[in-house]
Structure 1
Amino acid sequence: MAAPGDSWATWLAGRSSEHRARGLWRTRRSRVPGAVLDFAGNDYLGLAGDPRLAEAQAEGARHYGAGGRASHLVSGHLAVHEALEHRLATLTGRPAALLFSTGYMANLGTLQALCDSDTRVFQDRLNHASLIDGARLAGARSRRFHHGDLGDLERLLARAADDGRRLVVSDGVFSMDGDVADIAGLAATSTRHGAWLMVDDAHGLGVLGEAGDGCVGRAHGIERVPVLVGTLGKALGSAGAFVTGSQALIDHLIQFARPYIYTTAQPPGVAATTLKALELLEAEPERRDRLHTRIRRFRKEAATLGLPLAASSTPIQPLVLGDSQRVMCWAAWLAERGMAVGAIREPTVPRGQARLRITLSAAHTDADLDALLEVLADCSTRDAIAEGEAIS
C-alpha cells in the first residue's frame, strides 16, 4: 500500500522529468547588481538603481512605516497612496486610478470584476498570460483573434452581435515581440460594435508617448480606451501596478475586484518611490531620448551583422532563433562573457519561435552596446561552425 503523499511525489517527479527532457526547465540565478551587463530586465529608463529613488523609498518608510499594515479598505490606504493614484490619473489623462500590488493582480482583478458568464471577451492571441488567465477565472466566454489582425477581430465581434457585454483586450506593447498594438484601430473596431477596449500598457508606460504616458495615455482618451492598465516596476523602476479610467470604473473595482479587496496595501515606501520616478520622468525627458537612440543604433548594427531581429521600435528586441536548444546555447555563450539575456522558449512563445529577448535601457552605454554586438556576432559564428560540423 502506498504511503500517504506518494502519489503526489510521483506526480511531481514525473512532471519535472518531462519538463527537463523537453529542454524547458527554468532556473533562477542570484545576481549582484552590476556584476553582469543586464540585457534581460525591464528597467527601460535606468531608474531602478537611481539613488534618488532609493532615498525616496527610505524617506517614505521612515515617515509611514515599512509595511502597508492592512488592505486599502481596512486601514492601509495612506495619503501617499492617494497622492500616487491622483498622479497616475493625471499622467494618463483620466479621472481616476487605482493601485494594485502587481500587474498580474491588476489584470486578474479588473477582468474578474468586469466579466462573468454573460460577457464575451476578445483577446489578441499574443496577450500576456495574466489577461488570458483573468478572463478564464472570471468564467467569461473568450475568443482570441489573430495577432494584430483587426479584420479577424471585426469578424468575431460581428458574429457575437447582441450577445451580452463585449470587451476587447490587448497588450499595448507585446512583451515577447516588442511590437505595438494598433490602438486607434482597436478603439474604432470596438466602438463600432459597442464593445469596451481594455489595454495593458505595461511595457509602453514611461517609454512611449510624448510625455512617457505610453502608447495609450492622453493620445487615446477614455472614450476610446475605457480601461487602461499600467505597471510601475518596468520603466518607472519601482513596483506595483494601477488601473485608470472613469470614476465609475474605479468605484466598481474597489467594490468587486477581489485581488484589490483582499490584499495588503502596497508598502508606502514603494508608493513614495513611484512618485519620485514620475517626477523624474517629467523632469528628465533625455532618458527617453537616450533610450530610443540606443534602440535605433542596436537595430542598425544588428542588421549589418545579419542577426534575425523581429520588427520592434521598443526596448524589447527579440532575436528569433527558432530552436530552444539553440537559444539556450546562445544564452550560455553570452553568460560566459558576463551578459544576461532572456532565453524565451515554449510555452511562453509558440513552438518554433524560441528567441533571445534582448532588452535595452537608457542606462546602457555605447560601450555596453559594442560589447553586446561583438558577442552576438561571435555567437552567430560559433553557431554556423557547429551547424557545419553537424552536417559533415
Structure 2
Amino acid sequence: MDILERCRSWTAEHLRQTGRDCYYRAIGDTFDGTEVEFGGRRVIMAATHDYLGLSADPRVRAAAAEAVGRFGTSLGGSRAVSGSLELHEELESALAVFLGQEAAVVLPSGFQANLMLAPLLGPDDLVFGDFSNHVSLDEAVNLGQAEQRKFLHGNVEHLGELLHAADGSAGKVILTDGIFSVDGDICDLPGIMELASAHGARVVVDSSHDLGVLGPTGAGVGEHFGLRPDIVTSALSKSLASVGGVIAGPAEVIHYLRFHSRTALFTAAASPANVAAALAALRILQAEPQRRARVLDLAERLHNGLRALGYTTGASVTPVVPVLVRGRERCLRMWRQLEAAGVFTAPMTYPGVRAGQEVLRVTLTAGHTDGQLERVLAAFEWAGRKEGVIAPSASQGYAPVRIVRPAASADAAAVASGG
C-alpha cells in the first residue's frame, strides 16, 4: 500500500467539514502580547501561555536582538560539537539555581527536554504516569522502551496501588505535570513524593506551566509545596517568553544525559536569541513578583466571571482556565462565535481531551488590562447564549474559585485544592 494514500482525503474541504480548520490558523501581527491581527481584524489573544506577558517586554526583545547581533541567528551545530556558548551555560546555571537543582541543560524545545529523559527509562524499568500528562512525557517513555502504567488523573491512591503491585526489583519513576496544561489543576506532589519514598521511586515533574506561576519566587510546584523532585523539566516558551526547554537535576544525572541522550547529541543548539530572551525573562521574573500577582488576580476574576455566567471551569485554580463546552461541534462553533466577538481562544477536542469533555482553554497574561478581561467575559456571555451553552439569564449562584497563591508549605495542599 502507498503510505501517502491515507493523506488523499485531507483536503481543505475535509478540514472545513470536520472543523479542523480552527487549527493552524495564521496570525498576521501581534500587539503588546495581548492582541493579535487575525482574519483581518484585531482580536484579544486569550490562548497564550506567555503568563507573565514578557514576550513583548522591551528588555526581553532587546536581549534577543543583541544576541543575534553578537552571535548570529544559528550556531550551525550541536552543543556537543560547535554549538555551546557561554551564554547557554549562564542560562543553565541560573535555571539550576532557580529550580533548586545542581545542574541543568537547555534544549531547543520543551518537547526535546522531556525526550532527554529516555536514557533513564530503559526496558527493565517501570514508569508510573498520570493519565493527563503532556504527550512529550509519554513519548520519552516510548523512546526509552520502559513499561508505563498509567494512574488515574490526580489519584494518588491509584498510584499507590500500582506501586504496591510492581516488581520490587525494577527501577521506578513517577512522571507528572506540575500544572496540567488542559485541566489547569495542580499535581498532588506531597502525596506523590511520599509514595515515591515508600517504594524507592524517583519523581520527575514537568513544570512548563507552573514555572513562573507557583511558589513564593515563581520556581514552580516544588517550591509551592516546599519539596524538591528528583528531576524537573520545563519549556521556556511559557513564563520565560522564549522557545526551548530545560531539564534540571543532580549534576551526575545531567552529565550522563548530555552524553547518552540522542535528543541532546543530535540536534542543533538552541539559538542565541532564544537563550538570551529566556535569560532576560528569568531575571525579570525574579525581580518583578508583581507580574505573578497580576496574572493570578486576572485568572481569579476570569474564573469567577465565567462561573457567574453559568460556565464550568473544572478543578483549575490556576491561570489555565478550561471552559467546559461538551460536544465537538458545539465547542468548535463556540470558538468561531468568540472569534467573531473579538476573542481568540484554544478549542480542545479529542484526542487532546476525552470525547464529551471538550473545553475552550482560556489564558490571560499579566499584560492584559481590566478592560480586555471585561471584553472576554462579554464575548463569552454573547456566544454562550447564542449557542445555548449557558442560560439566557445570569446564574443565580456559583461556587467561587480561590486562585492558588504563594503559601507556606504546611498550607499548600489546602490552597492547591481550592480549600
The TM-score normalised by the length of structure 2 is 0.87
Partners of 1:310 and 1:318 within 8 A in 2: yes
Query: 2:48 maps to which residue?
Result: 41
Counterpart CA distance in 2 for 1:245 and 1:343 is: 35
Query: 1:150 maps to which residue?
Result: 156
Partners of 1:94 and 1:221 within 8 A in 2: no
| CA shift digits 1:340-372 (9 cap, x unpaired) | 100110001011111100112111111001101
Partners of 1:203 and 1:234 within 8 A in 2: yes
Percent same amino acid at aligned positions? 33
Query: 1:198-347 residue pairs with structure 2 within 5 A?
Result: 198-217=204-223, 220-222=226-228, 225-347=229-351
Query: 1:1-392 residue pairs with structure 2 within 5 A?
Result: 7-14=2-9, 23-24=19-20, 27-31=23-27, 32-34=29-31, 35=37, 36-110=43-117, 112-217=118-223, 220-222=226-228, 225-384=229-388
| CA shift digits 1:30-72 (9 cap, x unpaired) | 1111332100111110001111111101111222222122111
Partners of 2:335 and 2:345 within 8 A in 1: yes
| Counterpart code for 2:355 | R
| CA shift digits 1:235-280 (9 cap, x unpaired) | 1111111011100110111111111111111111221111111111
Q: Which 10-residue stretch deviates more, 12-21 or 332-341?
A: 12-21
Q: Which 10-residue stretch deviates more, 10-19 or 342-351?
A: 10-19
Q: Which 10-residue stretch deviates more, 344-353 or 293-302?
A: 293-302
Counterpart CA distance in 2 for 1:385 and 1:156 is: 39
Query: 2:401 maps to which residue?
Result: none
Q: CA RMSD in A?
A: 2.0
Q: 1:125 to 1:386 in 2, by over 3 A?
A: closer
Partners of 2:309 and 2:381 within 8 A in 1: yes
Query: 1:3 maps to which residue?
Result: none
Counterpart CA distance in 1 for 2:154 and 2:385 is: 34
| CA shift digits 1:177-215 (9 cap, x unpaired) | 000001111111111100000100100001111111011
Partners of 1:92 and 1:218 within 8 A in 2: no
Counterpart CA distance in 2 for 1:334 and 1:42 is: 19
Q: Could you tell me which runs of 5 or more consecutive residues in structure 2 were left unpaired when the two chains were aligned.
A: 32-36, 38-42, 393-419
| Counterpart code for 1:201 | S
How far residue 311 of structure 1 moved from its aligned partner, in angstroms, is: 2.2
| Counterpart code for 1:126 | S
Partners of 1:24 and 1:346 within 8 A in 2: no
How far residue 19 of structure 1 moved from its aligned partner, in angstroms, is: 7.5
Where 1:33 maps in the other structure, the secondary structure is strand
Q: 1:277 to 1:15 in 2, by over 3 A?
A: same
Q: 1:384 to 1:81 in 2, by over 3 A?
A: same
Partners of 2:216 and 2:224 within 8 A in 1: no
Partners of 1:91 and 1:217 within 8 A in 2: no
Partners of 2:214 and 2:223 within 8 A in 1: no
How far residue 387 of structure 1 moved from its aligned partner, in angstroms, is: 11
Q: Could you tell me which runs of 5 or more consecutive residues in structure 1 were left unpaired when the two chains were aligned.
A: 1-5
Q: 1:353 to 1:72 in 2, by over 3 A?
A: same
How far residue 221 of structure 1 moved from its aligned partner, in angstroms, is: 4.6
How far residue 219 of structure 1 moved from its aligned partner, in angstroms, is: 5.1
How far residue 324 of structure 1 moved from its aligned partner, in angstroms, is: 0.7
The TM-score normalised by the length of structure 1 is 0.92
Q: 1:328 to 1:184 in 2, by over 3 A?
A: same
Q: 1:21 to 1:134 in 2, by over 3 A?
A: farther
Counterpart CA distance in 2 for 1:291 and 1:210 is: 14
Counting matched residue pairs gives 380
Counterpart CA distance in 2 for 1:326 and 1:176 is: 18
Q: 1:386 to 1:305 in 2, by over 3 A?
A: closer
Counterpart CA distance in 1 for 2:201 and 2:26 is: 45
| CA shift digits 1:12-40 (9 cap, x unpaired) | 12466987765456631211113321001
Counterpart CA distance in 2 for 1:349 and 1:25 is: 18
Where 2:382 maps in the other structure, the secondary structure is helix
Where 1:273 maps in the other structure, the secondary structure is helix
Q: Which 10-residue stretch deviates more, 263-272 or 8-17?
A: 8-17
Higher helix content, 1 or 2: 1
